[in-house]
Amino acid sequence: MEKRNCPPSPSPRSTEKSGRDLRSGDSNGGTNTNSNTITRGEKGVNVQVILRCRPLSDEETKSNTPVVISCNERRREVAATQIIANKQIDRTFAFDKVFGPSSKQKDLFEQSISPIVNEVLEGYNCTIFAYGQTGTGKTYTMEGGGTRKTKNGELPTDAGVIPRAVRQIFDILEAQCAEYSMKVTFLELYNEEITDLLAPEEPKFPVPEDKTKKPIALMEDGKGFVFVRGLEEEIVYSAGEIYKILDKGSAKRRTAETLLNKQSSRSHSIFSITIHIKELTHEGEEMIKIGKLNLVDLAGSENISRSGARDGRAREAGEINKSLLTLGRVINALVEHSGHVPYRDSKLTRLLRDSLGGKTKTCIIATISPSVYCLEETLSTLDYAHRAKNIKNKPEVNQRMMKSAMIKDLYYEIDRLKQEVFAAREKNGIYIPRERYLQEEAEKKAMTEKIERLGVDLEARDKQLVELKELYDAEQLLSAELGEKTRQDPEKSLVDCAYNLRAELENAAADVSGLFCKNRFGISAQGLKESVQKLKILHGSVFWRNRVRKQITCYNELQCSLSKQEERLAHFAKKQREGHLRAVEASRSISKITAGFFHSLDIHASKLSSILEETQSVQNQQLLDLEKKFEECAANEEKQLLEKVAEMLASSNARKKQLVQTAVGSLRESAVNRTSHLQKEISTAQDFNSSVREKWGVYMEETEKNYIEDTTAIDTGRSCLAEVLVECKGKDKHGCTTVEERRGFTFQPWQRKHGICGFYRQDRNRNQPIAARSKLSSAVSSTLENIDVANKALLSSIDSSLKLDHDACANIGSILTPCHEEMRELKGEHQSKVVEITENAGKCLEEEYLVDEPSCSTPRRRQIDLPSVESIEELRTPDYDELLKSFQESRGSWKQANGDMRHFSQAQEPTSRSLEIQESLS
């Protein structure tokens, strides 16, 4: 077994020499081209290609059919094993997704199709089509294994892509509680004729199947979009309705038993779902989003001899292969970016135009069989699908329509229809609008021309037929006449005549011999006379005999020519009959001949394409050789040039490096200076802060001490005063009682005046402590009030100083944080700039100025980017003054740009604030 591994080739190319031909579509040579990782850009999105290999059928398993396909789902690769000249050759193909024989319908749908369905609901047009040899599972993948009945609303495990997509669409729309409308179409393309699988069945009596299917026309609108005229669109409201429609349409599809598939689809089918979803814009406007999903089940590509197709089936197969061949040519043209893409060569490619190289998102499911007997077709499918991977589409979301615009459109449509109805009612006979009339007239004209051509053809054939008939009649007449003549039989009379003549001749001979005898023995004159007479008779009879003889030969010749004529006539008549029959059946057989012609054309075309491929591969090889030589030559020249350039650039590079290093050094230095300056500022601010704190602590301590002293002094004063007060009260009481006593016992008139006066004097003296007491109490209360006021003032001043201090702290913090941030940013920026500059310098050195190192292989072809004279001139170091000036300018602008000045002024702020605080504290 020979198994060689080649590195992934950048372009898919089959190399007979290599044992393993890994095909990969992406330009990096990698194999990961999953739709999610597809590069989207101006160039578009690659068509997604999925490969599915079916399991061996029961018969194949029973007959121990060898398996030649192995699928690596993880690596997304398929390998086909081929034996050529007793050597095993593995060919490996990479795809976007690979599903092996044991893969489930659910897995295929969830992994590959479900995201596409979501995109349809986002407003894209998407197409999924199945391509592959007959009997490889296209219909199984698209529609399912046949059991479409749902169990408790669940889909059966073998349900295919179509029912699952339908279910997903309805599930999502219902979950979103969306307002939507949905319509479906289902068409079949058979022998280049389109029929509507949803068209109502009109005929009431049984007619052959082919007659019930009316072909419908494929039209192009003014913008080049293709549409099928009169295609039935069914509005649907549930998944169940779609399943019914699918069943109805599928049952109408043309299927037949082939050697490769018991129920082989003989036509291409396209099932389309169009969804209109209502959505609200931010402004509250109602918009209609439109998405379309096309699900295409292609008829099987097949080898006519292996599929056992004959007569009608062979023609079918020829047509199928023809449309698939055009599909292949379209794919090739798209991949090779050739100017002309032959979309118009078949109806299938016209219908799929937007899905191949258009604005639609497309996914191809290529199906293959693992059997060794299908290897040839499998390789062809793999090639086909692999090539299709390189088609790029440019998907666009369908323009959302304002609901009002859509309603307007519908009104317009209704108006148009109303006009038609009105026109038809008002006029005598049938009346249609001008455009329709012109269109139909054009169609009619084309039809008339076609009919005329056919009429002329028919006339010519009729003429030919009449001529042939005339000729035939003339020949018939001639042959009848000759027959009549032959029937009369003159032969017998002639023979009789001949016999008579012979007898006479015999007699005459006897007479002559008698005469001779007589003459010798003396014959008389009379005898002589008689003899002369007899001789005359004899002479006559001899003459007649000669004539008879001549007549006999003439007769024989006539006979001979007659038989020849008869033969010729019979032959001619036969030919005429054949010609007549041919002429009668000419119109019927012409289609057969055409079919044969097309078939042979197909064969020739496929031969030609294979020859073309061969030629292409040879040319490719030659081109490769040329390219190689050219690259070698270019590499040498490049090397020499690069050496020179490298020398030239080495010095300038060193200078540049020096320049860069100096610039970086100065930048670093300025950064360090700025950092140290900032740090100094921060430390000054911190010192100031700590000194303020210290002072504040001392002040607080002193204030507290004073307060405590004051409070204790007040307390002692208060207690002293209270004691004095108590003492005064006691004395006052005692004084009062004494006065009362005296008033009672010594009241005399002469003494009364003195006594009263004395009493009043005494009383006045006794009133002195009361006044003192009131004075004292008022002094105490005023002192207390003063103390309270002082306390309050002190407390408020403490509060305000605390607040000021807090504010000052906060200010310092707010100044410090941005300063720190700025510092960090500045540092980071500097570092990243330094790294960037170093990297760029390194890259520049490596990529542009270093001479290629010898790698013993042809260097990659590339464009040499020669530096211009100006750029070299720019490398010169400018004048010192100029440099200084530009540096200062740049520094100034840089300062402004970075808000440097602002920071600086902000940095000054704390000082003035701290002064304020100091003032307030003092």
Ligand X SMILES: Nc1ncnc2c1ncn2[C@@H]1O[C@H](COP(=O)(O)OP(=O)(O)OP(=O)(O)O)[C@@H](O)[C@H]1O
Q: What are the b/e assignments for 236-267, b being 16+ CB within 10 Å?
A: beebeebbebbeebbebbbbeebebbeebbbb
Residue closer to ligand X (CB basis): 21 or 297: 297
Residue closer to ligand X (CB basis): 38 or 67: 67
How far, in Å, CA of 20 to CA of 82, rounded? Answer: 11
Whole-number minimum distance, CB 306 to ligand X, in Å? Answer: 12
Residue closer to ligand X (CB basis): 298 or 635: 298
Residues 90 and 20: beta-carbon distance below 8 Å: yes
665 is in an annotated binding site: no
How far, in Å, CA of 221 to CA of 229, rounded? Answer: 10
139 is in an annotated binding site: yes
Phi then psi dihedrals of residue 316, to 5 deg: -55, -50
744 is in an annotated binding site: no
Residues 387 and 335: beta-carbon distance below 8 Å: yes
Residues 105 and 139: beta-carbon distance below 8 Å: no
Residue closer to ligand X (CB basis): 300 or 769: 300
Containing H/E element for 851?
A: none
Whole-number minimum distance, CB 623 to ligand X, in Å? Answer: 38
Helical H runs in 267-393?
A: 304-307, 312-335, 347-351, 375-388
**What are the residues facing 131 on neighbouring strands?**
366
Smallest Cα–Cα separation from 656: which of 862, 872, 506, 807?
A: 872
Helix pair 880-898, 900-921: axis angle to 10 deg: 60
- Start-to-end CA distance of the chain, whole Å, equals 103
Whole-number minimum distance, CB 70 to ligand X, in Å? Answer: 16
Residue closer to ligand X (CB basis): 22 or 325: 325
Residue closer to ligand X (CB basis): 97 or 138: 138
133 is in an annotated binding site: yes
300 is in an annotated binding site: no
Whole-number minimum distance, CB 567 to ligand X, in Å? Answer: 55
Which residues contact ligand X by CB under 6 A?
Answer: 54-55, 132, 134-140, 145, 261, 263-265, 299-300, 367
328 is in an annotated binding site: no
Tokens 């050789």 sit on residue = 625
Whole-number minimum distance, CB 432 to ligand X, in Å? Answer: 41
Tokens 């578009």 sit on residue = 44
Whole-number minimum distance, CB 33 to ligand X, in Å? Answer: 23
Amino acid type, 647: E
Whole-number minimum distance, CB 138 to ligand X, in Å? Answer: 4
Residues 157 and 106: beta-carbon distance below 8 Å: yes
Q: What is the pairing mode between strands 361-368 and 125-132?
A: parallel
Smallest Cα–Cα separation from 165: which of 300, 51, 275?
A: 275
Residue closer to ligand X (CB basis): 381 or 576: 381
How far, in Å, CA of 626 to CA of 664, rounded? Answer: 49
Helix (H, G, I), strand (E, B) or coil at 583: helix
Whole-number minimum distance, CB 146 to ligand X, in Å? Answer: 7
Residue closer to ligand X (CB basis): 374 or 635: 374
Secondary structure (H, E, C), 393-437:
ECCCCCCCEEHHHHHHHHHHHHHHHHHHHHHHHHCCCCCCCHHHH
37 is in an annotated binding site: no
Whole-number minimum distance, CB 132 to ligand X, in Å? Answer: 6
**What are the residues facing 21 on neighbouring strands?**
91
Residue closer to ligand X (CB basis): 55 or 308: 55
136 is in an annotated binding site: yes
Helix count and strand count (H, E) for the chain: 19, 21
Whole-number minimum distance, CB 384 to ligand X, in Å? Answer: 14
Residue closer to ligand X (CB basis): 24 or 258: 258
Helix (H, G, I), strand (E, B) or coil at 261: coil
Whole-number minimum distance, CB 367 to ligand X, in Å? Answer: 6
Phi then psi dihedrals of residue 371, to 5 deg: -70, 145
How far, in Å, CA of 601 to CA of 596, rounded? Answer: 8
Residue closer to ligand X (CB basis): 335 or 368: 368
**Binding site members:** 132-139
Which residues line the annotated binding site for ATP? 132-139
